[in-house]
Chain A
């Protein structure tokens, strides 16, 4: 069974640009969550999608957005990039939402903003 797949693995962008990250969940998993990981702030929850609907949201500005497609694949978009957006962005899938099924992570997209 394939794991969570994130593309691309690495991205270098300039301040002010926008970026789109992609995540394919484990087959059968309908929930996809996104996390930002930085050395100083650890793993911070961005949002969770289930059945193409955002079910939960963290405390990030509106520049961070996402969506989920009917095949459960998800994309995350960051507009007007800032230097502080440099981080590892992790996607995690799980079977359901609102329940305690465990998260399974991909290997992340390393975003560097210059």
Chain B
């Protein structure tokens, strides 16, 4: 099935560091969502983006809708141990009327 390219695949960071990850596609999307999934649970919606260039924050998380509409970025500032998990992006296109998910970025925080 179709998936979006998400990078990095995984990362180890020190507590307190900032984190950046991105999601890219060859297709244009008109909505980007970012989720976090912890072991044994379903993905939890973090941020929703609806407009090219939009920058939205949720606490220490900031996400941006790329101006080309083919990518999106998620930044986590001053990471803490509970940020551990897998982060997924999802893009929606009115062409297919469904969300396509990224391959995920696995984040591990070293205390």
Contacts and interface: CB of A to CB of B under 8 A. Distances in A.
A102 B41 contact: no
Nearest to B4: A42
B97 A56 contact: yes
A61 B90 CA distance: 24
A59 B42 contact: no
A100 interface: yes
A111 interface: no
Interface in B54-96: 88, 90, 92, 94, 96
B97 A97 contact: yes
B25 interface: no
Given A55-B97, A102-B33, A44 B1 contact: yes
Interface of B: 1, 3, 30-31, 33, 35, 40-45, 48, 50, 88, 90, 92, 94, 96-104
Interface of A: 4, 6, 33, 35, 41-45, 48, 55-56, 58-59, 90, 92, 97-98, 100, 102-108
Contacts of B40: 107
A55 B45 CA distance: 23
Contact of A107 (B41, B94, B104): B41
A2 B33 CA distance: 21
Contacts of A90: 42-43
Nearest to A6: B42
A45 B48 CA distance: 19
A90 B103 CA distance: 16
14 contacts: A4-B42, A6-B42, A42-B101, A42-B104, A43-B43, A45-B1, A45-B98, A45-B99, A56-B96, A59-B1, A90-B43, A103-B90, A107-B40, A107-B41
